[in-house]
Amino acid sequence: MLGKAQGDPISITGLGAYAPKRVLTNEELSTLVDTTDEWITERTGIKERRIAAPEEALTDLALPAARAALAQAGVEARDVDLLVCATVTPDMMFPTSSALLADVLGAPDAGAYDLLAGCTGFMYALAQAYGMMAAGLAERALVVGGDVLSRILDWTDRSTLVLFGDGAGAVVLERTPQRGFLGFELGADGGGGIHLSLPGSGSRRIEDATGNGYVHMNGREVFRFATRVLVSSAEAVLDCCGVSVDEVDVYVPHQANVRIMDHAAQKLGIPRERMVVNVDRYGNTSSGSIPLALAEAQRDGRLKKGDLVLMTGMGAGLTWGSGLMKWTL
């Protein structure tokens, strides 16, 4: 799925993020599983990650992020008519986290649904919200991406435990004088889905006493997939929009592994100083990854009005997705 933005200009007008207070360092992890700070840092670039408190669910992380995004946009929640929440760890399967958020925020008339696309969830949700607005089905959207992956990890499996963290981000989408979103590219390969899965989590019960309810990952295959699609998806959306990679001011890849990110930047020809990196402090927060990185880049003054921003995610499904936009905040 590939397309260039059409119709009225639509952009991000508010941005917010939230991560739990609890910091879990590599040194602490080394007391739980057979690993070391050096081993984790060398292979992933991760030094620490945030872990939700026992009483915190997805909406507890998403709510402050959503409120911050609405505040920055100067938008009242009651004026939001679409709320999309990208997550693989909702509070529960139903009612949806999106509906719960709409209620607490005070958006009683908003259409609200959760979206499952693994770590690519935020990019899928962003594209869907844009499409709904471009089609005239929504006037103002709130897109939330976040996960509490610590709840679905096997805390004895170092191959997954060291990679993931918890966090959430949110953006407000509105019609704007200048065009923000320029184009999107989305894709999926269900044939490769077995390489990153959560067996026993749905209606197809898999009798696996050692793995039910925990993330299963074939690290080698996921690495190959990620290094390929981060590049091909980005190249596709740039080509569709008639934009050269040299014009990209800020590159925000999914924060999964610094080796994957560095590989993509090198293959694309994007200088590393243009790439936003915070995986060292948050780990892989799945659907929260890109909005957390955007919020940090904005806070640090790295996102300036007029900047060309390239975002690419990839994850379970297997899925991938890219978005290209001019920053209008």
241 is catalytic: no
Catalytic residue among 26, 257, 278, 284: 284
Q: How many CB atoms lie within 10 A of CB 326?
A: 18
Task: Spell out the residues 6+ positions from residue 49 whose beta carbon is closer than 8 angstroms to its own.
Answer: 23, 24, 164, 165, 166, 281, 282, 283, 285
- The phi, psi pair for 28, rounded to 5°, reads -70, -40
Catalytic residue among 254, 257, 263, 278: 254
Picking from 299, 311, 308, the residue whose alpha carbon sits closest to that of residue 328 is: 308
Furthest-apart CA atoms within the chain: distance in Å: 56
263 is catalytic: no
Per DSSP bridges, beta strands 166-175 and 196-197 are unpaired
Q: In this structure, what token pair is assigned to residue 177?
A: 């004088």
CA distance readout (Å), 213 to 85, 91, 200, 300 = 21, 15, 6, 38
- CA-based torsion, 106, 128, 184, 319: positive or negative: positive
Picking from 120, 102, 124, the residue whose alpha carbon sits closest to that of residue 111 is: 102
Q: How many CB atoms lie within 10 A of CB 300?
A: 10
284 is catalytic: yes
Q: Look-up: residue for tokens 């065009």? A: 179
Are the C-beta atoms of residues 270 and 245 closer than 8 Å to each other?
Answer: yes
Catalytic residue among 85, 119, 240, 241: 119
Q: Look-up: residue for tokens 């975002």? A: 311
**Residues marked as catalytic:** 119, 254, 284
